[in-house]
Amino acid sequence: MLDRYLHPLVKPPLRVLAKGFRSLGISADQVTVYGFLIGLLAVPFIILNMYWLALALIVINRLSDGIDGELARLGTPTDAGGFLDITLDFFFYQAIVFAFALAEPVNTLWALILMMSFVGTGISFLAFAVMAEQHKIKSMHYPNKSLHYLDGLAEGTETIAVFIAFCIWPQYFPWIAGLFATVCFITAVSRLRYAYTTLRFYST
């Protein structure tokens, strides 16, 4: 929901950082992979209740996710890079929630519910992206992305904010996870409805 408003604000500083990486000969795919690996290091820290260290690693991961896209657009973006980026993003999201499930027994049920809601948002997002490519449907808000980005209440910005909240207030994980899972389920249903209606129009 907030991505379209935040992207224009963070794009200039990310572009500056991307130019720095490019001058060092670092590729977008390398930033994607190393950013993912750094983000995964947050998992053991979460399990050990070392939430501030985990938060720092999560922030680095999300920062690298913005840099790799800008770095790719400084050259020629590739489908392979776009695939790598979105796949590792979804794996990272699930891994962080999984870590909180292991951190405290009270978190387990709510973590599972949140992970299930992530499946709904992810499948509806990716399935429509495939169909949108076949029908040459362009995204109005994200025309430069490697695949069609479908809007929703729960997008990248909201997910980052929730992960930060998890680390700052871990004792409230069940409440935050339950609320965000509800938002994700609403997003999945709205995407399902929009995608079905849109594809029926293009199929007639």
pLDDT of residue 148: 62
Task: Determine the structural domain holding residue 114 and report its residue range.
Answer: 3-203
Residue tagged active-site, from 65, 68, 85, 89: 89
pLDDT in tens, 78-137: 889 889 999 999 999 999 999 999 999 999 999 999 999 999 999 988 888 888 777 777
When divided into structural domains, the chain yields a total of: 1
Check if 29 is active-site.
no
CATH number for 50: 1.20.120.1760
pLDDT of residue 132: 77
Q: Can you read off the two tokens belonging to residue 68?
A: 């790799």
